Amino acid sequence: MRGLRWLAAAVVLVIAAMSSPAVPAAENKDSRAALKKIQTQLRSRLTTERVDAVRKLRTFPPLEAARLVVQFGISDRTAEVRRIAYETLLTWSENGEVCRFLLTTLDKEIRRKAEAATVVPLIGALLDCDLPEIEGDLLKSLDALAAAPTGLIAVLTVADELGKQADRLALKSLRKLTRLKCFSSAFVFRRAVVQAIARVPGPQAIDASLELLPKLAGEVRGDVVRHLTQSTGQTHGNDGDAWLRWWKEHRTEFEQPADDGPMRLKEFVVRDVPSYYGLPLCAQRIVFVLDMSGSMAGSRLEMAKTELIQAVAGLPEDVHFSIVVYSDRVTSWQRNLIPANAAAKKNAAQFARGLLARGSTATYDALETAMRFDAEAVYLLTDGRPTAGKIVAGNDIVTAVVRDNALRRMSIYTIGIDVGPAGNDFDVFLKGLAESNFGQYRRVN
């Protein structure tokens, strides 16, 4: 039947073509002249002229127009033109001819190892296409792209941009990205996609998070729990079955709460997960970083040792961890993350008990060392502002760590011992360091 319907439609088109007057040569000439005029406008020095030219292309035959958008628009020097070019490509997302052209162009760019900025708008536009033959080929191309470090940056950038878009169309594309091989293999990409989904308001994003929850572990699973808790006000923690039961009963009446900023620490207690100074240890790969400068001597150091030993003792055996201690020098307990088995926990406790406090505070150097581990989360404990090391100023440390962490996406949790009044420089530094790196800040008196 499908073939017959296609044949009947073809016959109708042929008859219509035979009975309709041919397109005059003058009209073709006018169309070519108009496109030539658009090309000239696309080369204008004025941003407004180039934006207008891209918009005008939406009225031209899609394939010809798409070629010009790709040639001029998506690589334009101005962000506004690039945005309009991308939005223009989205208007043809169900045009198979255009999408095939975009996919062919993407494959060429992948083969020549183009920069992320070139391929990101192509990927974004193609993700919006629901034609099965395009979708399957696109995912194959993206898997090939993400196999290289520069390609992984490109798909990572797409996830981030979709998160900024934060609407139902973005959510549809993000769900497609969860089917890529790198979603399973690359923590940084998996986290980017999950966090982007969490930025989309409404029940559809909660549907997506609940669908992913049983497939995830570690810090990314913690991201999903945070999203569910933030969006619903419920505290079912790590219990996926409890979340599903609650959602089944309340989905139809769900209303998205207003975004009132970061959630309070107590709302992130996760069931069946160990904690460190009250912070949940969700990650599967953890680095504990302890300030051993002279000011930590005495009761502060004894409390720090006790908290660390208890936290390590509670780690499941499939978690990997290490310890970094610092004053004006940095020392790693192990060169690599090791499984939290009984022997490792015993050795870690012995190491902790032997720690002595002396010297100054090289906080950046310690964080730099911690980020060399293949970790999901870093827990920094300190009682004083940085006074030594490669970078000392708090703002500069935050800037450098954010830069260093951009392609790692580790959570950095900060624990401040006796930091003083809220809002002082040290307090602001620790808070900013955590919140700029997917973590939380805990004050301890």
pLDDT over threshold 60, residue 22: no
Torsion of CA 86, 89, 93, 97, to 10 degrees: -150
> What residue segments make up the domains of the chain, in order of their start?
31-213, 214-258, 275-444
CATH code that applies to domain 31-213: 1.25.10
User: Strands 330-332 and 320-326, how do they pair?
Assistant: antiparallel
pLDDT over threshold 80, residue 135: yes
What average pLDDT is seen over the chain?
Answer: 90
Q: How confident is the model at residue 287 (pLDDT cuts 50, 70, 90)?
A: very high
**Structure tokens that stand for 209 in this block:** 């998070």
Do 57 and 85 form a contact (C-beta atoms < 8 A)?
no
> What average pLDDT score do residues 177-197 get?
97
pLDDT over threshold 90, residue 444: yes
d(C-alpha 45, C-alpha 268), whole Å: 52
* Residues 6 or more apart in contact with residue 107 via CB below 8 angstroms: 141
> What average pLDDT score do residues 167-190 get?
96
CATH code that applies to domain 275-444: 3.40.50.410
- Dihedral sign (CA 373, 375, 379, 380): positive
Confidence (pLDDT) at 118: 81
d(C-alpha 156, C-alpha 360), whole Å: 38
Confidence (pLDDT) at 116: 76
* CA 138 from centroid of its chain's CA atoms: 20
Q: How confident is the model at residue 28 (pLDDT cuts 50, 70, 90)?
A: low
pLDDT over threshold 80, residue 151: yes
DSSP-derived secondary structure for 356-419: ---S---HHHHHHHHTTS--SEEEEEESS---SSS--SHHHHHHHHHHHHTTT--EEEEEEES-
Model confidence pLDDT, tens digit, residues 359-407: 999 999 999 999 999 999 999 999 999 999 999 999 999 999 999 999 9
pLDDT over threshold 70, residue 29: no
Closest CA to 187 of 414, 411, 17: 411
pLDDT over threshold 50, residue 5: no
> What average pLDDT score do residues 193-201 get?
96
Confidence (pLDDT) at 38: 93
d(C-alpha 323, C-alpha 352), whole Å: 9
Q: What percent of the chain has pLDDT over 90?
A: 82
Confidence (pLDDT) at 33: 84
> What average pLDDT score do residues 27-44 get?
83
d(C-alpha 237, C-alpha 232), whole Å: 12
Confidence (pLDDT) at 6: 35
Confidence (pLDDT) at 270: 64
Of 169 and 392, the structure prediction assigns the larger pLDDT to 392
> What average pLDDT score do residues 93-108 get?
96
Confidence (pLDDT) at 279: 94
Q: What angle do CA 340, 277, 339 make, to 5 degrees?
A: 10
Range from 13-17, 378-382, 429-433, 441-445 carrying the lowest mean pLDDT: 13-17
> What average pLDDT score do residues 249-269 get?
66
Question: Euclidean distance between the first and final Cα of the chain, in Å?
Answer: 76
pLDDT over threshold 60, residue 263: no
Measured CA distances, 2 to 5, 8, 9, 96, 136 (Å): 5, 10, 11, 18, 22
pLDDT over threshold 90, residue 271: no
**Structure tokens that stand for 427 in this block:** 């307090």
Torsion of CA 395, 290, 265, 279, to 10 degrees: 150
Do 119 and 145 form a contact (C-beta atoms < 8 A)?
yes
Confidence (pLDDT) at 2: 41
Q: Is 131 helix (H, G, I), strand (E, B) or coil?
A: coil
> What average pLDDT score do residues 189-194 get?
97
d(C-alpha 176, C-alpha 135), whole Å: 9
Confidence (pLDDT) at 31: 72
> What average pLDDT score do residues 114-137 get?
90
Q: What is the DSSP letter of 128?
A: T
Q: How confident is the model at residue 259 (pLDDT cuts 50, 70, 90)?
A: low
Q: How confident is the model at residue 220 (pLDDT cuts 50, 70, 90)?
A: very high
Model confidence pLDDT, tens digit, residues 319-344: 999 999 999 999 999 999 999 999 99
Confidence (pLDDT) at 273: 86
Q: How confident is the model at residue 255 (pLDDT cuts 50, 70, 90)?
A: confident
Kindly report the number of other CB atoms within 10 A of residue 258's CB atom: 6
Q: How confident is the model at residue 114 (pLDDT cuts 50, 70, 90)?
A: confident
Q: How confident is the model at residue 12 (pLDDT cuts 50, 70, 90)?
A: very low
pLDDT over threshold 50, residue 15: no
DSSP-derived secondary structure for 193-257: HHHHHHTS-SHHHHHHHHHHGGG--HHHHHHHHHHHHHHH----TT-HHHHHHHHHHHGGG--PP
